[in-house]
Amino acid sequence: MQSSESFSSANADSFELQPPYLAAAGADPLQFELLRQQEQLISSTSLLPEIFRARLFTLLSYLRQVPHCLHYWLAWFLSQGQGVSAIASLFQLPTSDEDGAAWLELLAGQTGPLESWPEPASDLERALLWAAAALLLPGEPAEQAQQELRRLLLPEAYASLQALLAFIQACHLWLNAYPERAQLADEQARQYLLRLLQCRDRREQEELRSLLERLDSCTDEAILRRELELYRRQLRTVLEAIGDSVLLYDQRGRLVYLNTVARRLLPLLQPDHARLAFLTAKDEEGKKGGEAVGVSAAAGEPLLPLLNDTPASLPLRRMLWEGEAIAGEHALEISLPLANGEEAIFSFSGAPVRGSRGRIIGAIVIGREVTARRRLEQRAHTALNALLAMAEALVQADDEPAAIQQGQRESQTRLIMLRLGELTRQVLGCQRVAMLGLERETERVQHVAVTGVTPQQERLWQESVLGAPLSVFLSAPLLERLRAGESLHIDLEAPEFSHLRSQIRSYPVRALLIIPMCLRERLIGVLSVDYGAEEHRYSPDELALAAAVARMATLVLEREHLLEERAEARASVLALREANRRMDEFISFASHELRAPLTVLKANAQLIKRLLQKASALGRDLSSGGAPGEGSAGQSPWQSHPVLQRLAGIPELLDRSIAQVDLLDRLVGDLLDFSRIQSETLQLVRRHLDLAAIVREVVQAQQQVHPGRDIRLSIEHTGAVIVEADAARIGQVLTNYLLNAIRYAPPDRPIEVRLCVEDQRARVLVRDEGPGVPLELQQRIWERFYRAPGIPVQEGSPVGLGLGLHICRTIIQLHGGEVGLESQPGQGATFWFALPLAQVTDRRSATQSPDQSPA
């Protein structure tokens, strides 16, 4: 912010210090500009002399003890050529009340309005200065000064004085609102004064230093007094706002202050204790010279001692006599009698108050009533124990629930519910608790457990309630509220519940609290609580506890239901396990039994094919020995024979049959492998092998079997790729990958096989350009008996069991590897498997030409 000239520095171009009041107003740029414009307006229009305005501002700042402004005005006076003695005399006006009366007398002696302003520093001018300052000072002289100034000053001059006083008042408000901003500007003025000392003679330097010390003392005193007053008000506000009783004692144990909570508490105590603790100080606001918190005893009335042998004085004695601070876990809990005959529990803490030399001069005691909290803790402790007992009853489960008869299980459930009911009565203190379990579909009462009744009354409950639908007792709207999870408070004295009152006829009941027992938005039971004939208002804690018990009872009923389902499921699982075992045995038996005839069938077909080939060759030899021109179309009689013509098409049929036998043999092999996997009898013959050699042999074999397909091989590793594996099984996995690619990829698109080594793993990938596998099916295709729907077969038979990939994954996992699939619909698929590299010291021992024939 740029320095701004004050209204009193118009003729002092060399004086460029910023006024502290403008520095304070700089906190709000808009208000700063308004205050600066008001200053300029007063400077240009005021009829009061400039030096008088400055002296009036300085004198009011001094008398009102407004800090951070006096150094500025002292610097301004010196810049105007004022002498130090004349400036110092300004701060001696007035010296006493008698001097003020003398100034008023001097003004009263003047006749008529002043036609000209008095000489500067004259008695009349000083009297006018003091009277103008008195207008903003409290006390009786302000009214007399106003009368004299109105009489002596012209209306225009008096108006200028009023405007100047209003401006000074606004500046003082800004100085008090932002003292930290004003202090910076005031410190600049003080440094300026210290530099001016170098240009003065010794006498003026001494006078100026003395004046500076006086101004510094005035400023410091004002700041300290202001901070103390603010602290006193804050302290009183804090003490009055505290929700605990706060009491302050002197060193003799006399009560000198207590806050609002403590004042409300005293009448509740017994008369004797209230008399001892009664505050004798009449001035509660502390306006008559109180202690640190502003409260003192009335004059001539002694404060009553509290250092007696009553329990309430124990904390005070320990603080005053032993100097002990009591806080936290060391707080004292004392039971005190109340005027109504009951007792209240108070927790007392506090500390001794020490003077500047460390001597105990009093004590502050803080009392908090903890009666409700202690009772709540006790009740919560009781409730917790009861809930723990409920939990123990809830988890009481037999080891073999299937062996328990239905009647025994119902009896056990009833006993648990009775236990919960007794614990609920203990927690809530009610007369009776009834628990009704409902059937899941019909809402008929299935279980009944009532506590707080005689055996005869319990039999009446069983007879009237068991087996009946809940709609017999409650109307449809009430049932809907229960199903929605809402608790019902039923007044049995109301006419609409007369049917319930007639059913509960063996004992008096005024009202029922019915809490629903819901599980997954289904009503499976209700909990009923009553307090007999007395009226009872349920607290939120009681309702919460009752709801918690209802939830536990819900778990009991659900436990009963789950036990039944578990028994049924266990029987089903055992039956399923036996069926699966027998099915695995059948699959293993059938696979072995089918393998033998398939082998014979395939061998016979191949033998017939070879015999036909020999017969065809013999026919060609006989034809070549006959006479030319015989037979039709230049054929020999042997070639034109109808039987031989039929035999010529049989090899093609045999080839198809052999292919189908191969397919059937592969399916039987899959079944046999699956059976071994299920029975955990699949054996691996693992040894150190070169995986690259296995991959080459499998790819070459498939290239020979499918000469029309473009199968490409890429091995991205030089040298042998040694793995510890079963060569036949690894070849089986890669063959299955290639057959899948051939089956589903277009015939004119290539199939790529790649072998690479990554992070101590050998990875084999088979990529095709077929339709791909949808993302949601990529995990399921590895499951047994699963075939992805909607993917057309491009080559080969569509017949399959859905076991190939499942067997592949099992074989690789048994080798310590993993399988995977990367595919996007319409962009082909990449099936891969990875095996860990073998840790061998002599790779020359690895077999270079493993057996590749799959099992």
Q: How many CB atoms lie within 10 A of CB 53?
A: 22
Residue 387 has pLDDT above 60, yes or no: yes
Position 849 pLDDT exceeds 70: no
Q: So what's the pLDDT on residue 628?
A: 47
| Omega cis (within 30) before 49 | no
Token representation of residue 706: 């499918």
What confidence tier does 560 reach under pLDDT thresholds 50, 70, 90?
Answer: confident
Complete DSSP assignment for 476-495: HHHHHHHHTT--EEEETTSG
Where do runs of H (alpha helix) occur along 9-140?
20-25, 29-45, 50-63, 70-79, 84-90, 97-108, 123-134
pLDDT surpassing 50 at residue 409:
yes
What per-residue confidence (pLDDT) applies to 652?
Answer: 63
**In this predicted structure, what is the pLDDT of residue 272?**
46
Beta bridge partners of 344: 336
pLDDT digits (tens, 9 = 90+) for 785-809: 777 776 777 665 555 567 788 888 8
d(CA 359, CA 55): 48
Question: At 451, is the secondary structure helix, strand, or coil?
Answer: strand
For residue range 439-497, what is the model confidence (pLDDT) as tens digits? 878 888 887 888 888 888 888 888 888 888 888 888 888 889 988 989 998 888 888 77
DSSP line for 319-338: HHHH---B-GGG-EEEEEEB
Helix axes 50-63, 70-79, angle to 10 degrees: 150
For residue 629, name the pLDDT band (cuts at 50, 70, 90).
very low
700 pLDDT more than 50: yes
Q: What is the pTM of this model?
A: 0.34
Name the residue with higher pLDDT: 683 or 381.
683
Q: Among 23-32, 589-598, 640-649, 656-665, whose mean pLDDT is lowest? A: 589-598
Name the pLDDT band for 13 (thresholds 50, 70, 90). Answer: very low
pLDDT at residue 779, as a whole number: 83
pLDDT digits (tens, 9 = 90+) for 221-279: 666 666 676 777 788 888 888 888 888 888 877 778 888 888 777 665 545 444 444 44
Q: Grade residue 309 by pLDDT with cuts at 50, 70 and 90.
A: low
What is the per-residue pLDDT for 852?
44
Averaged pLDDT, 527-552: 84
| HSE-CB for 201 with a 13 A CA cutoff | 4
Quick one: the chain helix, strand, coil %, rounded to 5?
A: 55, 15, 30
Stretch 128-155: mean pLDDT, rounded? Answer: 85
744 Cα distance to chain centroid? 52
* For residue 784, pLDDT beyond 70: yes
Share the mean pLDDT of the chain: 75
| Whole-number Å distance between alpha carbons of 531 and 442 | 30
Residue 147 has pLDDT above 70, yes or no: yes
AA identity, residue 226: R
pLDDT of residue 280: 36
Q: How far apart are CA 21 and CA 186, in angstroms?
A: 10
Tell me, what's the pLDDT at 301? 36
For Cα atoms 170, 172, 178, give the angle at the middle one, nearest 5 degrees: 105
| Cα–Cα distance for residue pair 204/84, rounded to 1 Å | 6
* Residue 160 near residue 48, CB atoms below 8 Å: yes
Cβ contacts of 632 within 8 Å, gap of 6 or more: 640
The percentage of the chain sitting over the pLDDT mark of 90, rounded to a whole number, equals 10
CA dist., res. 32 & res. 36, Å (int): 6
Task: Provide the pairing of β-strand 722-725 with 761-768.
Answer: unpaired
Instruction: Give the C-alpha separation, 568 to 587, whole Å.
Output: 28
pLDDT tens, residue by residue, 180-211 = 888 888 888 888 877 877 777 777 777 777 77
Model confidence band, residue 645 (pLDDT cutoffs 50, 70, 90): low
Length of the chain: 855
Q: What tokens does 479 get?
A: 């049932």
Q: How confident is the model at residue 586 (pLDDT cuts 50, 70, 90)?
A: low
Most confident range, picked from 87-96, 123-132, 173-182, 829-838: 829-838
Of 544-548, 613-617, 720-724, minimum mean pLDDT range? 613-617
496-505, 571-580, 634-643, 829-838: the lowest-pLDDT one: 634-643
Cα of 538 vs its chain's centroid, Å: 32
507: helix, strand or coil: coil
pLDDT in tens, 33-92: 999 899 899 888 888 998 889 888 888 888 887 877 888 888 888 888 777 777 777 776
Cα 444 to Cα 438: distance, rounded to the nearest angstrom = 5
Q: What is the pLDDT of residues 756-769, one digit of tens each?
A: 998 889 999 999 99
pLDDT band at 848 (very low <50, low <70, confident <90, very high): very low
Q: What is the CA radius of gyration of the chain?
A: 55
**pLDDT for res 690:** 93
Please name the residue ranges forming H helices in 112-178: 123-134, 141-152, 155-177
- The candidate with the shortest Cα–Cα distance to 513, out of 541, 484, 477, 537, is 537
575 versus 425: which is more confidently predicted?
A: 425
